[in-house]
Amino acid sequence: MTRNMTKVVDTKIKRVFETSASALLIAAMIIVMMFGTTSAVSADTAGSWAITIGDEQVLYVDSYEEGQQVIEGLKDYYLTQGATVLDVQFNPEIKVERATSASGGSGSYFAAESTSVSVDDAVAKLSEGKTDYSLYEVQEGDTLESIAKAKGLSANKLSTINGSKYDTDETIKEGTYVVIYSETPYVNVTTVEKITSAKSIAYDTVYKNTSSLNKGQFKVVAKGSKGERQYVKQVTKLNGEVTSSDTISSEVTKEPVDRVVLKGTDSVTAQKGVTYDFADGTDVVEYAKKFIGNPYVYGGTSLTNGCDCSGFAYALYAHFGVNLPRVGQTSVGKTVSTSNLKVGDIVFYSGHVAIYAGNGKVIHAVNERLGIRITSIGYTGYVYAARRIFD
């Protein structure tokens, strides 16, 4: 196209986009000229063999053998590597025949090439399909993104073919014309394959209690391994997209092996300044709530039949594998500030013990009248010390 011709094309497109709708027909003719039309090409200049789809010669190669390679290459493009091919169908029919002429009619994009193409290029172009262009009249509120979404296109590609004149999220003036595109395959390729695939089967983790380890301690004695299940499926695809998939067979080819972990059940004896991480203070309080309303019994350590305040703390922590002193519990655990309490901390009053429950509350065996209750932290007096067992 000469420089003068280019200038005329640009001027006419500008008129369509920015002025009268009467120029629409002219612009459409220009777009066809730019994107869709070709001049006649003789068989001598375009290669001696043509790839024909339906009744249309769409590109040229140097030999019949190369033409067959293009067809086989197009098949391979859509087939799954390693699969058993049951059927491949082209619609419309694709064949290799002696080139006669390229008419330049509708859809003859490749006929514009003055020389034959390589096998790889031919396969790439046939698999990409053809792109047609048209004009779209912008409606109120339209952006390239909204247009693309409505028509199943790429907003970035719309921006590119419109000369990057608009941002993809920019609202375009109503009545403006923008170029849009549509992509259609030159040929629809239907493949039917028998595909063998494998999926892993997760192993289970089995815990076994042992008194040889303390609570909170674990030891892996068998790592475990995944199993495998093999599937054979008949899969039908259209242009590479699965349209149906039917399982022919399914078989476990390798059984999973359990992971085996020893779980400690032995208790630990609480030590001064020592905390443990195999449980959490929240767990202690949630467990303690199960016994609200049960009786207070002086000297008792039973959460169900009755306990006193220190017996309550003693029994709770014993459940989680920590042996506290029956009395004198300030001698174990980590000393913490009463202004920095965490749920599960043991708090001490003059002659009384409780478990901090959070939000200024404690849970404890209050007295013979109330039994095990949740109260405010100051209900039984002033807290002078606190110890942490789980951190």
Cα–Cα distance between 302 and 280 in angstroms, integer? 22
pLDDT, position 41: 38
What confidence category does residue 274 fall into, taking pLDDT thresholds of 50, 70 and 90? very high
Pick the closest to residue 362 from 349, 49, 350, 351 (CA basis). Answer: 349
Q: Per-residue pLDDT averaged across 85-111, rounded?
A: 74
pLDDT, position 256: 97
Cα–Cα distance between 29 and 21 in angstroms, integer? 14
pLDDT tens, 69-85? 999 999 999 999 999 99
Pick the closest to residue 56 from 93, 87, 10 (CA basis). Answer: 93
pLDDT, position 2: 33
Q: Per-residue pLDDT averaged across 318-327, rounded?
A: 94
Q: Per-residue pLDDT averaged across 250-274, rounded?
A: 95
Residue 106 in this model has a pLDDT that exceeds 70: no
pLDDT, position 124: 94
Residue 92 in this model has a pLDDT that exceeds 50: yes
pLDDT, position 101: 58
Sheet with 84-91: strands ordered across: 84-91, 188-201, 227-238, 241-254
Task: Assign a CATH topology to domain 188-263.
Answer: Resuscitation-promoting factor rpfb fold (2.20.230)
Residue linked to tokens 């209050």: 366
pTM of the model: 0.53
What confidence category does residue 192 fall into, taking pLDDT thresholds of 50, 70 and 90? very high
pLDDT tens, 294-307? 999 999 999 999 99
pLDDT tens, 330-340? 999 999 999 99
Q: The domain 267-388 is classified under which CATH number: 3.40.50.880, 3.90.1720.10, 3.40.50.720, 3.40.190.10?
A: 3.90.1720.10
Cα–Cα distance between 236 and 17 in angstroms, integer? 45
Write down the domain spans for the chain: 3-78+93-184, 188-263, 267-388
What confidence category does residue 47 fall into, taking pLDDT thresholds of 50, 70 and 90? low
Residue 18 in this model has a pLDDT that exceeds 80: no
Indicate the DSSP class of residue 165: -
Q: Residue 134 corresponds to which tokens in the numbers above?
A: 């048209």
Q: Per-residue pLDDT averaged across 178-194, rounded?
A: 95
Percent of the chain with pLDDT over 70: 84
pLDDT tens, 361-382? 999 999 999 999 999 999 999 9
Cα–Cα distance between 103 and 58 in angstroms, integer? 10
Q: Per-residue pLDDT averaged across 171-196, rounded?
A: 95
Which amino acid type is present at position 266? D
Most confident listed range (4-8, 181-185, 257-261): 257-261
